[in-house]
Amino acid sequence: MEEEYRIPLTSEDIFNAVYEGDKPGDVIVFDELESTNSYLMAKGEEFNNFTVVIAKRQTKGKGRLSRSFYSPECGLYMSVLLRPDILNTQLTYITPSVAVAVSQAIEKVFGIAVGIKWVNDIIYRGKKVCGILTEASIDPLENKPRYVVVGIGVNVFTPEGGFPDEIKDIAGCLSDSSADRVKFIHFICEIIHNIRKYCQGEALFNNHSEYVRRSVVMGKRVSYSKNGGLTCARVAGITDAYSLLLETDNSGIDEIASGEISIRAQDLYV
């Protein structure tokens, strides 16, 4: 496995034009990794805040809830190391803030509007185009994380031969135009820039309205597992700490802080 090159991905000219001198930390690009998240989680102690690891393809891409993430060479698979000064209980702010950061990058670079399906999926034309996996190294004796790794997987272009049968009905991509290939580096820079903007200091706690504005689940009927069974409810709100408020059929309010909800495909359109 050959490490290809280190910092920065872009030419100085483009970089300065877009970021006005706001430089990210190291960017390390690999042709192939098992998983950019696994790589950074294993080596987190060695790297600075905002180190970015990118793989052109992953052989064991990880998703949430122990799922795999299909990672052929037509997507963006990147992980960012963060050392936020937050409590473990505040880790729930990271994934939604990254969802806002990536959504804005998509909108700016590709000129398309995307929505967010609670909690970590970015949706375009009713299909998932991006998933986010946040992992943290926790010291059991401390109530602050040692470091956090945010993994972002974006289906930028359609894979050759299309998506595998298991995901072809739910996975989408951002673009089918080969002309958009030149936007790849701009897209990466924009994500890094936005993560720095939204995921550090007080800014981490100020992304709620941007998140809710893009939510595709607000007011919709969804199902979720509870006490070993499937429950249906209407999404009534998203709390400041990004828990989902659900109005159940007997008019009770349920609050879930993690997990997954299912929603009818036609309700996913922005």
Q: Report the interface residues with ligand BTN, using CB under 6 A.
A: 35-37, 58, 61-64, 67, 69, 77-79, 120, 131-133, 151-153
Report the nearest approach of ligand BTN to the CB of residue 60 (Å).
7
Report the nearest approach of ligand BTN to the CB of residue 97 (Å).
15
* SS3 label, residue 237: strand
Non-local (6+) Cβ contacts of 18 within 8 A are 10, 186, 189, 190, 193
Closer CB to ligand BTN, residue 35 or residue 103?
35
Report the nearest approach of ligand BTN to the CB of residue 38 (Å).
6
DSSP, residue by residue, 151-189? EEEE--BPPTT-S-TTTTTTB--SB--GGGGGGHHHHHH
The length of the chain is 270
Closer CB to ligand BTN, residue 57 or residue 226?
57
d(CA 244, CA 8): 38
Report the nearest approach of ligand BTN to the CB of residue 116 (Å).
12
Closer CB to ligand BTN, residue 22 or residue 169?
169
Report the nearest approach of ligand BTN to the CB of residue 4 (Å).
17
Closer CB to ligand BTN, residue 69 or residue 163?
69
Closer CB to ligand BTN, residue 104 or residue 155?
155
* SS3 label, residue 233: strand
Which residue of this chain has its Cβ atom nearest to ligand BTN in the complex? Answer: 131
What's the sign of the alpha-carbon dihedral 162, 110, 220, 69?
A: positive
